Structures are given as C-alpha cells and as structure tokens.
Amino acid sequence: MRLVIARCSVDYAGRLSAHLPSATRLLLIKADGSLSVHADDRAYKPLNWMSPPCSLKETEDNLWTVTNKAGEQLIITIEEILHDSSHELGVDPGLIKDGVEAHLQELLADRMEVLGDGWTLVRREYPTAIGPVDILCRDSSGTVLTVETDSVPPRPRHWAVEIKRRATIDGVEQLTRYLEYLNRDTTLAPVGGVLAAQSIAPQARTLAEDRGIRCLVLDYDELRGIDKAEDRLF
C-alpha cells in the first residue's frame, strides 16, 4: 500500500465530470491497483476513487492519470508532496466478528443456568436430517411422561434452542421445523423451543409466542462474565 499526502486537485472524466479544487489530501493506492482520494473528515468514505482493475500513470510534471477498463479517468494534478511511503501489509486474515452465533452458542452451552435452574446440556449442534439444532438441553422438571403409565418414570422435558444475533421471522420458522421433526422422536418428545438472540424483532417475538416458543434475549457481556447483574447497584 502506498500513502501519499499531497496538495492536489482532482478531475474525474467519465460518464459525468467532477472536480475537486486544490487542497491537501490523502491519496491511497492499494496493491489491487485501486486509488482513493481522502479528506480529513467523512470517516472512511473517499472524496473520489477508482476501483480495480485500473492503471496509474505518473508523469514528470506531477500529473497522475488513473484509467479503468471502461476508459474512465481520474486525473490528479500534484502541486506539492508532503509525504510518500509504501508498506507491505501482506494477506489479511479477514474480519472475525465478536459475538457471532457460534460463540454465543458456546457461551450459552457453558451457562445453562441462563435458561433455568437445573437445566442441563444434551449436545451442541444436535444432528437431525434437516440440519443441526444449535443446542438440545433438558430442564429439571421431571414431570413429563411419554407414556401415561405409572411403570414409566418421569423424564425431564427436552428443549431445542435456536441461537441468532438478531432473531427474525425466518429464525422462528427454522426453529418450528426443528420442533416438528424432533417431536416425532419418542425418545425426545415432548420438545419445547427457545429462540435465543441478542435482539428479537417484534414480529418474530409475536409469532414465536403464538407458537408456544419461549423468547430469550442474550446479554453477550454477561454470558462472558464481564457484566454480572448481581454486581450492579441499579
């Protein structure tokens, strides 16, 4: 990547014309050939840019011409260069989001008490023929019978937990399909549903509750033990 801070003017010639009068700006030239012109505001958004593939031609009279495959040009007239440096950044590993669904699943599996006292984990990514259920767990009621006879001991109820960052109607429909499938298994049924997310859309909550699915809003920091409710004064 090449970073150039220069006093310059910029003209764009293509489907329309645009002109940036003389000012001090940052010119950012990336290894993919793209060039963008930045001011000291507007956050990340450039004043003008040329996307790859494109070519940069520099002349001795400090005229830069950037041309893309469509023949459009960004013409930069350099008046004074204040800084010019190049840096090898290497291959970027990409963005790793904090609080993604897999991490929420892992945290919730370690904190079954968030779902209720005495709840226990059966398995994460419980396999079914229509896809894996994020979490299958049991509550501690022990009052549900699969067969109405005294010879069969009471068995805890099973729960399928679907985890989302933001739960929408699609998440409710997905969990509904899992519940319909799991409740055909006499070794598991009856299976209840929990829609767990950092935020739940109002329409999703309404549909879930109408179908008897429990909704649970997850506090990511609290799951990580950063902000425990019992430690708060208010």
Q: Are residues 118 and 223 in the same domain?
A: yes
Residues 67 and 173 in one domain: no
Rounded CA separation 125/134 (Å): 5
The per-residue pLDDT for 93 is: 74
Residue 23: inside a domain: yes
The reply to whether 107 and 198 lie within a common domain is yes
pLDDT number for residue 86: 95
Residue 182 lies in a domain: yes
HEC profile of 131-173: CCEEEEEECCCCCECCCCCCCCCCECCEEEEEEEEEECHHHHH
Give 123-132 pLDDT, tens digit per residue: 999 999 999 9
Q: Is the pLDDT of residue 233 over 50?
A: no
What is the per-residue pLDDT for 222? 85
Query: CATH no. for residue 71?
Result: 2.70.180.20
Tens-digit pLDDT profile for residues 27-63: 999 988 899 999 998 888 999 999 999 999 999 899 9
Residues 108 and 200 reside in one and the same domain: yes
Q: Is residue 203 part of a domain?
A: yes
Same domain, 211 and 119: yes
| pTM for the model | 0.55
Q: How confident is the model at residue 234, as a pLDDT?
A: 44
Segment 48-107, tens digit of pLDDT: 999 999 999 999 899 999 999 999 999 999 999 999 999 998 877 765 555 578 888 999
Q: Would residue 128 count as lying in a domain?
A: yes
Residue 195 has pLDDT above 60, yes or no: yes
CA 210/CA 201 separation, integer angstroms: 14
Residues 119 and 11 in one domain: no
Residue 94 belongs to some domain of the structure:
no
Express each pLDDT in 197-231 by its tens digit.
999 999 999 999 999 999 999 988 888 877 555 55
CA–CA distances in Å: residue 13 to residues 24, 61, 93, 168: 21, 20, 36, 45
Beta-strand runs (E) in the chain: 2-13, 17-29, 35-38, 48-50, 54-58, 63-68, 73-86, 120-126, 133-138, 158-167, 191-200, 214-217
Mean pLDDT (the chain, rounded): 87
Q: What values do phi and psi take at 165, rounded to 5?
A: -75, -50
Instruction: Report d(CA 21, CA 91) in Å as an integer.
Output: 35
Q: Same domain, yes or no, for 46 and 112? A: no
User: 213 lies in which domain range?
Assistant: 101-231
CATH of residue 148's domain is 3.40.1350.10
Q: How many structural domains are present in the chain?
A: 2
